[in-house]
Amino acid sequence: MLLYRYILNCQIGSRRKSTDYIKSGQIKINGKVTRNPVAEIDADKDIVLFNNKRINPVVSQKIYILLNKPAGYICSLKDRHAKKKVLDLVDIKERIYPIGRLDKNTRGLLLLTNDGELAHRVMHPSYEIDKVYEVFTKPYLKAADVKKLEKGVEIDEGVTVSAEINSVKHDEVKKGSLVNLTIHQGLKRQIRSMFSILHYRVYDLIRLKVGNIELKNLEEGKYRNLSEDELARLKNMVGIIND
């Protein structure tokens, strides 16, 4: 097993912190400091110390949940003053966390888990996991701007992002456009920024799909466990073949 993965399973910190602990010399294997996060260890035989105290993996049931997040709830687990957190909607005793985030005013599909490796891979851009959203924007989205969105829009200095526009439906009553699109990157407020740069205002944003996982008809504010088939297919997408 790779050292950083062992440390992650000990639940003494996030993936980033686990790597930092190793690189800063706070981890010892059989009495010797190692600073290599991808060092191979034998989880059954090697003795691993964190600040000179032995640590062992926490054996816990892995949980995989799909939540239909309502607007008004935040994904951050660190904001102690927030009145509405997504975890308030989930009756789970185990410590779980979101795979990626949706901003406060964005609705829809949010995955929650205690599987650090899966969470990291689903969020990592190298795996190019499709994320499908539906956006209601005003004024009507022009054909020329559809091309700009697909070609790429600079949302920050040196940061250009694009979207695959699946469909555009104009609402004559609401005087706006309902846009179904797919992105890979998932940067903070990416979709809102892309439309804002092109002088459109986003009035509603909902995530419908992540990889093979679809929101479908799950009621807003409710959650369910992923099926075995859904989980197996998602793991396969990010190169986790055997659990």
* Residues with catalytic roles: 103
Residue 206: φ, ψ to 5°:
-135, 135
Q: Please count the other Cβ atoms lying within 10 Å of the Cβ belonging to residue 28.
A: 16
| β-pair type (107-113, 201-210) | parallel
> Is there a contact between 114 and 94 (Cβ–Cβ < 8 Å)?
yes
- CA–CA separation, 120 vs 103, rounded Å? 19
C-alpha radius of gyration, the chain, whole number: 21
Q: Which tokens hold the place of 66? A: 């799909």
Half-sphere exposure of 166 (CA within 13 A, CB side): 13
Instruction: Give the DSSP H or E segment for 233.
Output: helix 228-237
